[in-house]
Structure formats: C-alpha cells, structure tokens
Amino acid sequence: MPATARQPASHPRPEAIRIEGLRKSFGPLEVLKGVSLRACEGDVVAIIGGSGSGKSTMLRCINFLETPSSGRIVIGGEEIALRADGTPASRKQIEKARQSLGMVFQQFNLWTHKTILENLIEVPVHVLGTPKADAVARARKLLARVGLAEKESAYPAFLSGGQQQRAAIARALAIEPRAMLFDEPTSALDPELVGEVLGVIRDLAAEGRTMILVTHEMKFAREVASHVIYLHNGVVEEEGPPDALFGSPKSDRLKQFLKSVA
Amino acid sequence: MTGALALGSTLDLLAYSPPGWGANLLRGLWNSVLIALGAFGLGLVIGTAGAYGKLYGGPVTRDLLAVYTTVVRAVPELVLILILYFAVTDVVNQLLVAWGQSRIQISGVAAGITVLGVVQGAYATEVLRGAILAVPAGQIEAARAMGMPPFLLARRITLPAMLSFAIPGLANLWLVATKDTALLAVVGFGELTQETRQAAGTTKAFFTFFLAAGVLYLALSLVSGVIFGRIEKWARRGQPNVGGSGR
Ligand SMILES: Nc1ncnc2c1ncn2[C@@H]1O[C@H](COP(=O)(O)OP(=O)(O)O)[C@@H](O)[C@H]1O
Ligand SMILES: [Mg+2]
C-alpha cells in the first residue's frame, strides 16, 4: 500500500531534522532568506520550486555540504554547534551527523573506480567500522531490494542511469541513515528510466523512512509526501499537506508555478 | 676476419667478469635504477603533499609551493644538482662542525635521491594537482556527505580516482628520473653513465661502451613502459574503453 497522503500521527514522533531561520549567501547573493523546516521520523517532506529558488542549497545545508550563513540545524535532537560566521564548530560533530543522513544526488556520484558492491560497503567498513562480512551481507540485501543483485561486481560506468541511481540509493541506505536526502534524483535520467527510480523511493516512503526530497515530479511529490514546501527566491512561499498545496494553492506564485510545470 | 675479431674483442670488453667491464656497467645500471626509484618515490610523496597544499592550503602554503615549483622547473637540473649537492653538503658539514661534530661524506645514493626527488616533486605536484582536479567533484562530495574524514577520503577516494588521470604524466616523470640519474655523473657518482665513462676512458672503446649504455637505458625504458601500461590498465578498471592506452 503506497504512502498516499499520510497524516501526521496524533501522538508525537521523535524529531529527525529541524532547520530554523536558515540563511545562506554566496558572496553578495542571498540564496536562502530565513527558511525553516521540520521533519519527524517517518515524515516525507517534499521541497518544490522553480530553478534557482534555493532548493538544493537548503538540502545541502542540512548535511553541511554548504555552510549556512546563519540559522539553526538540529539533527536527531542534537543541535549542530556553529560559530558566529555560521561555520561548524566541530568537524567531528558534522561527520557524525552526516553519517546519519543518506544523500542521493542528481548525478548519482558513485565512485567510478569501485564496483557497485565496493561502493556500498565503503563507508560502513572504513568509516563506521562494520565488520566486512556483515557489510557485504547487508549490501547484497540492499542490492537485491533495488533490483541490482546481479550487478554487484559491475563498475558504475557500465550501468544505465536508472541502475546507477538505484545503486546510489542503496549506497545511501547502507549506512543505515536516520533520514534520506534526495536532490532531484530523477532529473538526470532519460524519461523511460524515471519510473524505476521513483518506484524505489516510493517503497522507502511506504516503509516509513524519513526523507527530504527535492523534486520536479509534482505528481510523485503529491503521492508520497506528508508535507510539501514551496520555495521561491529563497523564501518558503507556501507549505502544507500535499492535497492542500496542490489541490488549493493560496499564493499566486504557487498557482503560477504549478501551472507552468503541469 | 677483422669483423669477427672486432666482434670478439667487443664481447670481451663487455664480458661480465674482469677484464670485461660488464659487471661495472650493470652495477651502474643498478645504481641508476635505485636512485630513480628513490627519487620517483620521494617525488610522489612531495608531489602529493604539494598538490594538496596547492589545492586546499592557505595562502602562505600556496605561495611557498608556487615558488618551489616555479624555481625548480625553471632552473636546469644540472645546475640544481650542483647547487643542492655541493651547497647542501657544505651547509650540513658547517652545521656539524659548529655543533662540534666531525664532517661527514654524504652518500652518493642519498644525495642523488634527495636532489632528483626534489626536482621530481616539483613536476609531480603539477601532474597530481591536475589529476585531482580531473576527479569529478561529485565523487568527493558523495564521500564527504557520508561523513568520511578528510585523510581517509584522500586515501580511499580521491587518490585512487585520480590515478588514471595521473599515470601518463607519472610515466613520463619516471622516464625523466631514470635519465636524470645520468646527471649525477658530474658529482662523480657511480651510476650507469659514470661507469660507462670510466670503462670507455680506460679502454678507449668509446663507441662500444656508450652504445651498450644506450641499449641498457632503452631496455629500462621498454620494461618501464610495460609496467606502466599494466598499472594504467588497472587504474582505468572502472572506465569503459575509449581508444587505446598511451602505448
Ligand atoms: N556554489 C555556489 N556559488 C555561487 N552561487 C551559487 C552556488 N550554488 C548555488 N548558487 C546560486 O544559488 C541559487 C540557488 O541555487 P540552488 O539552490 O542550486 O537552486 P535550485 O536547486 O532550487 O535550482 C542560484 O541562483 C545559484 O546560481
Ligand atoms: Mg537544484
């Protein structure tokens, strides 16, 4: 059963990710102008918006691939300590937070000099200290799950885009993350390969994975998200449950945006 | 008849045991290879540190590295060898004397490796810097995003990934290293060229000995080519074949 329109549970669930008043500038260009987001465990938060609205930057600030200019970031109840200029105070704390967040990129970013299986066990074995045999067993289960069981010895360059992205999702899952971060996971794919990747993400949503998903696939966002954020020019222009946001958008900008992508 | 005689005497000259000079030439070759290996290895260490320093270091580090690579690559190696060998020996000994120690004779191998290693390091810095830049940024970012600490990331991801881009340049550097060992003849070190000079000077059979030395250098280069070809093939294991290797 798909996770269609899951309602926030009435009893409080533990919070997974919280962003408050996040600002980010690249030189003189302010890309995020005080955005906030909260995801409890099991939530699927979709971030939508036009190109250049700051979606990727917002997502990348969560695991500090971009350094925020100001604001608060709390991962699993632990606030990331920032200096006055927004840079993280402790590299160790950032690394620990990152190890609990599985990121999936638009361009897959698999390590091309490693086989698919080696890609999956790299961080578990060398960073998290998982015994190799355990990591391999777990990686094989994940590969079977994303339909790549027979590709474990292949190198990424020999796989289709859809297969590479499924492998990248399995690699992110291999660190047993608290939450998954997706940055337009299907935007680099040929249209006929989009479905297989969305299928995998849909399954993850259905099993109650916490996810933050930047996407241009509006139908998909409406189907799997528990909460949708519409970003415009670095500001959260409108947010709410998917049916409300897509069914009866309030702001003219969102109406216009939805018309333009329909 | 004279032809056969000439051939016979040539073989005598090159014979392994005295009065033939074969053993001397091979000892020279061995010293050359030893120094080239040492210099190449030292160059790789300096080059890796230099490349990371140039890419990620602070402004002072970058400036110092820029001076290093510029100067070393601008000045002829022969001059550098003379400067480094004599000047460094002199400075070391002056320091030793100042501390009340006795003077030392720096071993030819150690001096050769150090001098050529410093030269190799300057070129390797640039080769490796370019190769690291050729690694798709997303692959490094993916490792960072999963919490890989910087040193591990370099060792597990960046350096192996850049290898395929670096190998052609490094293979060139290795060949330069083998040939640059000949420059150490000027400081009297017994590598292949020096041994050849001695044999030729003593016997007056210049043509024979320098031809033999040329053949040995060529053989070294051919063997090196095969080895680097293997390494390149391994380094490119994840990449679909486009065109052939450099050989
Ligand atoms: N590293 C960077 N340096 C300078 N400007 C950047 C950088 N990354 C993103 N930007 C700018 O920030 C804005 C938002 O980018 P991004 O978050 O990627 O938008 P989106 O993902 O919504 O398309 C864009 O105008 C983009 O040009
Ligand atoms: Mg983007």
Considering its fold, how many domains does chain A have in total? 2
Tell me whether residue B38 is in a domain: yes
Same domain, A19 and A96: yes
8 Å CB contact of A107 and B160: no
Chain A residues with CB under 8 Å of a chain B CB are 63, 65, 91, 94-99, 101-103, 105, 107-115, 122-123, 126-127, 155-158, 168, 172, 175
Same domain, A69 and A170: no
Structure ipTM: 0.90
Chain A residues lying within 8 Å of B240, measured CB to CB: 157-158
Same domain, A133 and A59: no
Q: Which residues pair with A240 in a beta bridge?
A: A228
CATH (domain of A197) = 3.40.50.300
Same domain, A74 and A201: yes
Per-residue pLDDT of chain B (247 residues; tens, 9 = 90+): 455 556 667 777 776 677 777 778 888 888 889 899 999 999 999 999 999 999 999 999 999 999 999 999 898 888 888 887 788 778 888 888 888 888 777 777 787 888 889 999 999 999 999 999 999 999 999 999 999 999 999 999 999 999 999 999 999 999 999 988 888 887 777 778 888 888 888 888 888 888 888 898 899 899 999 999 999 999 998 888 765 544 4
Same domain, A118 and A89: no
Domain boundary (A156, A176, A196) is at A176
Same domain, A223 and A208: yes
Same domain, A83 and A195: yes
Write the pLDDT tens digit of every residue in A168-223: 999 999 999 999 999 999 999 999 999 999 999 999 999 999 999 999 999 999 99
Tell me whether residue A2 is in a domain: no
Same domain, A167 and A212: no
Same domain, A68 and A53: yes
Range with top average pLDDT, A6-20, A233-247, B77-91? A233-247
Q: What is the pTM of this model?
A: 0.86
Tell me the nearest-neighbour CA distance from A215 into chain B, angstroms.
19
Tell me whether residue B247 is in a domain: no
Contact between A63 and A98 under an 8 Å Cβ cutoff? The reply is yes
Tell me whether residue B125 is in a domain: yes
Considering its fold, how many domains does chain B have in total? 1
Tell me the nearest-neighbour CA distance from A97 into chain B, angstroms.
8
State in Å: Cα A110 to ligand 2 middle: 18
State in Å: Cα A128 to ligand 2 middle: 29
Domain boundary (A176, A195, A222) is at A176
Q: Residue A22 above 70 pLDDT? A: yes
**Which residues constitute the domain of residue B60?**
20-235
CATH (domain of B170) = 1.10.3720.10
8 Å CB contact of A113 and B164: yes
* pLDDT, position B96: 87
Tell me whether residue B194 is in a domain: yes
**Which residues constitute the domain of residue A78?**
14-100+183-262
8 Å CB contact of A113 and B161: yes
Same domain, A96 and A197: yes
Same domain, A227 and A253: yes
Helix (H, G, I), strand (E, B) or coil at A45: strand
Same domain, A42 and A158: no
C-alpha span between A11 and A236 (Å, rounded): 26
